[in-house]
Structure 1
């Protein structure tokens, strides 16, 4: 196949042409099992060669006739001729157009040719310089005015047709002794043409009366002129490695100038998108796209912003040309020097909208919108935390008094462990085991007094022989201190008289965590018990059958450095898949009490690593390890770090990082409310609580919001919640509530006078003294009883009876005393006010309920 250097879509949707040394016409079809030779241009499309026109070998430029269902080409050649070319028989044959040539008076290269998009009988030609001739020639292919028929075909009069195939005289000329590099017709004005000339300027020319220059601008960017197809406002051109975008209303300087490291080959506006320009550079496999965003402030346009993108139709080859499809959105063809063609869809920037109800809506082209909701199978991979938060709120997550039960309601292990630890630490504080910390949930670093004065721990050496292993001669060194014991309580490794280590190991066995149980037994220097656990685990199921082999290996434990057991165990430890078994053998094969392999085993739970450190590390190493571990967990936003930080400022920082990583505002707010003291609240923590309450409001989870507020207020017994709803005066807009005005005490017309037993009411606004609205039924001014009788006196702290409450329709605003309105709507659905036709009772969502 000969090289195809240029490519262009035709006005027929599925046909395009290529040209270089010859002109070829292709048609696109969906890929099928056909024997006809074809070229694959995309995953589902192929191009079939329909015909070839090899008669023109010196093609310099080409344009396609814009108004027809058939193809007519204007081909500019190296000698200046412009020929009308078709592919075989066409509708233009009867008009004598195929083969017609337009020849300048003096031969020179034709640089550009452009059909007029409105008066399509006109074709403009741009030529090289000749000192006594014009460089812009305007030809009329039928030599007479015409109007296209319904199919866009030409309809010249018979007398207007010339007998010769050459037309010797253009209808207009311009640019004496100039060189024309490119041309671009205006889309809405058939007589206005933009011309790039002499490497010096761009001129806008008007052909209506006599040829004259409307305006011009000095620039070297005179190549590739093209008018934005949707507006006669933006004009683009290029020169060398610069692309300029002009606003023809302000033609003094470019609107935007784009610079590249390589020379520009071609530019082109997208016909289906406003202000989208494509640019191709030499020796490049990518096409740059520029979306020009116009911004209007008031009545004035400000400097536009440019959004740049890159598309790569051919990943391995350099592109020589491209063409936008005239009608299909964002579709373009590209061609390489070797003739490889790609049909590429430029996926548009989408406007993504994520609704509070978890519906995701986005644009798909200019005419289609797509939606994805939580019921779709495609929604789960999004891992939307808000969907989980909403479902957890509906399940009552965070409202359980027993903290560990809140963890049981979620499927996240880290959250489960956090709630279980809060339950444990709170229980230890209530039992008096953790005292003197001014905190119900102190962390390990707090109980070890890392930030204060450290107390030296006692060192205890226990011989392995004392543990019943006669083949061992060395000892295990452990550290003891009261503060370390408290830390072990927090880690779950130290127990009271009713909850021993054996009970922990039994619970782990029931959960089938045999490897963890065996490792904890070994860390507590109970190797025999670990062997029994491994044996029972191997018998429990086929899944744990390999534990027998581990038990056999563990049974041969020897602390002799030169023993075969120690050498083999140390060498093969890394091949063990279970992290607890790796840590167990790392502990038994450790040299010189170096337990880094155990402490850095990420597969172990944090509480087990911390408990191990509190048992086997010296004071200095323990503090350094816990500090580094706390910093690591905080940076990760790992809630396991609460074990180290507790409910102090470091814990707040950990929660902030957890929120940043996961977006789980629900768990963050709930932990702050339930575990952190009110006096430790920061502005951020208050904002978390407010954000979660607002989120429940957005989802219209009113009951869940109310339960959360009740729980929130229960942790603030000294703070009275502010009144959020009150009745206001129609005249001054202020509250008429005696409670809000502070009028239920002291002197005044609303205070208690003597020992009167009458119910005290107010019938006017306490601020402006204007009368309150009348009840629509009894026509009395509505008023609020200050209290109710109790043993002959008035208790001002008790609420009035419901029958005296104000009530009104949210639609027509008419109402009255609650008891009167209830009685009225037992038999009526329409408003009791005579001229009002509002169906108050029918509007009420509870209208079908028994009143």
Structure 2
């Protein structure tokens, strides 16, 4: 007598369906380690069932009988739990060995029958078409799978003269079905490719086919007293074979743990579980086993079992005479290292040393890659700043990249070897480098010794790179976008710093009166500093008193931008401003320091200051130094990016910078630092299976280096059976105008594509496409 146990999980709730002694019982599962009372009963209305299948949404149930009848029921969780929708009958009476619902298309059902010399054994049926034909069916036996109605009901059929021992759909691809055939082989059928199986594994273990929930290539099956595990990527060699002393009842993969398989044999008092670690080398493959005794369920012995997906580490078991019970299956396993190099364990479903940690850099990089980070989308680079808004340095980087790109595109700067020029290269270029002098840095300045502003076309371009691009065209009465943005963000101190340097104090006063609150402490500090700045040209007393006043006020303010202004406007060193005191202050933005130096330092002091900032950036692994060096294949730029990579492990940003600038080329030597950085990121995208993002970056590289595209490492395709290479180079791949789906040496199917699961070289025709029902 069959003893079947199924589970359906939906919205955190599990339901169990148990068939025994011609009755079908429905249970609602709760976390309690005791025998469950059935929620719904349906008496003796289900005699001679051999297999059951519950649809993915839990609304439909299919039952297979020993006489071949397949009945479809609607699961109604009320007084009448199982409402019949109709029956399917084979043309020749024989047992139904397996039923499988398609997870992506709830009306599609695969049915496997026993062997018959004059009929097929595997049918894939669209129930929507079948049930619409029911009213017109004249036969009292139900909906017959007969030849005259095949075109309307059956989407696919195969297995003439064979038996279908078990069937299972692949979870990640609704077009792929695995079939155990006649105790001879396991076939992988891709319904888009017609009738021929794409993979055929020779074995007698064709019953109980099941696929791991986490890896669709890991498959289990069993024969009378042996369980076998297979990897479809190397289908000609099994991974493991587990010998059992008695006939096997059931085997099933754990839906909550990768590589964990449980199996039960006849009249057993234990459920055995095994954890498979599948390495590429056979010597590194291991299999560990544990036992779950019947006493944990308060049973004498068990007839079947099922995992509970919603309740982690819980198992349900059934006995013919004692009903259904569940219990917790605890395990003690080492989980992983956290980003702070602390170890996290779990013991019996409880975490030990579990804390809230920030995302690891690999998690951050993958999230950004999925959002299109670094892809050259028409060179609109500022959009990438939104993907890293939590990182101030990267936000500035992408804004600077777009500014530098526009400066090069508008031909204001013409430098070879880089798309993103730096300040050093711009200053040393020969584009209209005529020096001009501007006095009176403040509008109200009417007397006294004026500070001189040295401006040339090159320095003006450098100010644009610093974000002060509105300096030469600013108005005393209208705010530029940079200033308005600072007020929107509430950064009043930096706004005062910029307006004081760029001669727009009256404009700042009007904006401050509109947006700041006079009750705030910072507002009073800003007003005090601004009053002192405006009093600078009118002061005619002693310089020592003036310096003391500035020094005392400098001690009371907290913001470094205000301290910088007080240092700038205090007369020291014989009546001249000490720029070193200003530029040495911390917490002043890198670009603001550079902009101020561009305005007030002569060339020899300016270059020395830029070199000092560059050395500081190099030592701290900061990308702000790229403002000075730009992005190129030169040593300064590459070493700066390398130090940033060493500090943060952000290989993504490092690689993207080289790709966008065109510094990386396929023809680079593999020992080159740029080559290794970019190739590491491309390999990382392959591991994450982000094929589209990887292809777009590959195309961006090819646009810069089309003549040497074949220098990049490529994969040589080989047959899984005879191990002979199929293509010797990527050029031959494009020369195959007529492709075939089999190996030219052994005539067996070629490897499958990881994306579409089609065989390499397969080109679907219109006729074959009509066989695909999905």
Question: TM bucket by the smaller chain?
Answer: 0.3 to 0.5
Larger relative helix fraction:
2
Q: TM-score, normalised by structure 1?
A: 0.43
Q: State the structure with bigger RCO (CA 8 A, min sep 6), 1 or 2.
A: 2
Task: Tell me which structure has the larger Cα radius of gyration.
Answer: 1
Q: TM-score, normalised by structure 2?
A: 0.47
